[in-house]
Structure 1
Amino acid sequence: MQRNATTQFPILLVHGLFGFDRVGGLELFHGIKQALRLAGARVFIPYLSATHCNEARGEQLLAQMDRVLNDTGSARVNLIGHSQGALAARYAAAVAPDRVASVTSVSGPNHGSELADFLHKALTPGRLPGPVASRIATLFADFISLLGGQTQLPPAAVAALTALTTEGVGAFNDKYPQGLPKNWGESGPNRVNGVRYYSWSGTLPDAPGEGRQAMDPVHAFCRAFSEYFITEAGQNDGMVGRFSSHLGKVIRSDYPMDHMDTLTPGAGQARNGMDPTELYLRHAERLRKAGL
């Protein structure tokens, strides 16, 4: 079936923490950009700092938005942000709503991340029992090594975690509340200051599937990280809680996918019956039908 993703405004796919041009050996938004372009969309991937606060990354996004607008002659852009990229997109829309047609949060920590809370405590001496702090800190460092090939945890990564904690995002939300639901677990306003807001996310499947953790080490880390969720235990993707991801019109927040599956297809894609590329294509068609 021929797809039609010819949105009125260009689409910018905004990466999150630790993203740059590659994540875990795969290009950012692997296959997604090409599929959208084949369906008629104009797609760009702005490159933001891999580790920085939400506002700084938002300012970087604004500068790259302007270049896209100048190059395409378009008046506005559609922003689709994965993970912390959603917060950068929210910042850009709050500061310059006249240049943003829509913001879509994909697995975004819009109310903070319990994992970030726990990691922040683990990396602060005396906040957690030594063995517990050592275990989670080592797990996190190993995860960063897997993604970026670094042998130790970069100092900037520790600082960036503060911006993703419940407290850090709470302060961010006080300044930029557009699209947030009034009550926990609900949808937020669909439109604020002329900008449409959408979100979708996933939760870890009930069972990892035969051999999946061996085949997909990133998924194994997501399962390990999920143990540190309390409020949203069993309702998270390994890095972000289901209800913490809600923003604007919630398309769905329990796709059977881990945090990285919503960025690029993982080893468990066929078993889960979910294709992340298809979700992005459907959403581009949704934006087109909305005149965006």
Structure 2
Amino acid sequence: MKAGHIATLAVDCRCELGEGPQWQAKSQRLYWCDILSKRLHWLSPANGEQGQYTLDQMVSLATPLVDGRLLLVGERSLSIFDPTTQSQAHFADFEVDNPITRSNDARVDRHGSLWLSTMGKRAEPGAGSLYRLHNGELTQLRSGLTIPNAICFSPAGDAAYFTDTPTGIVMRWPLDSQGWPQGEPQPWADFSKAPGNPDGAVVDSEGCLWLALWGAGQVVRLNHDGQVTDEVKLPVSQPSCPVFAGDNLAQLYITTAQEGFSAEQRREQPQAGGLFVADCGVRGLADPLLRLE
């Protein structure tokens, strides 16, 4: 394995639960969410400008649309958000009759469709599900999950990856030519006996997967066989999700969290919840823009 990389603080945002980093090429902005604090943060890496929006619900992802607006994956609904006017328009609901769940991980696949997951607000076992929003229609792909995470896709769009975090296993799921799952997902990478738990993930331009290990203070790179070949170390213990952003998608940004920390842990890790960045010597692979119809 390579010697590894060190991530440094990019934005001292102190998110309770930073998640869902997404690069919007049109505005040259990186967006990420603080789920529990109901905030949407942004950064312009080119000039260092940054800001945030206060939201009316927990949101786990803000993914770019063709016209420059964002689709917000909310607690139990999808809405379209205009950063210029800060206006929202309702798009669709999910699990509205299930008050114990909220959205969690999400990412657009190689076909321009959105995969999103839900989980219990208290991580109730088996309360979570995995969905796909394709041509404006939401379809449940899997249920009985606890903390679905690591949603990402092979460059050719012929495989999806995900994990149910408490299991420690990253799964690989073959997809057909329209991006629908085929057969059963298969175990691909096993972190059940490793420090930390698999959380968010992103695929780079070489088809390798960068996976945040919650609790272990690192992001690891997995090759096509699911073997760790590189790592990024952080000065905080709870990285949640990586994304490639900035000029030529050459920088790896990582959201982190201080969720569940004691007062002592917050003192020991004053940068916890911040947005971090590392130069890993590899470029990212742009996610397609979400298609709503």
TM over 0.5: no
**TM-score, normalized by length of structure 1?**
0.33
* Greater relative contact order (Cα < 8 A, sep 6+): 1
Q: Relative to total residues, which structure has the larger strand share, 1 or 2?
A: 2
**TM-score, normalized by length of structure 2?**
0.32
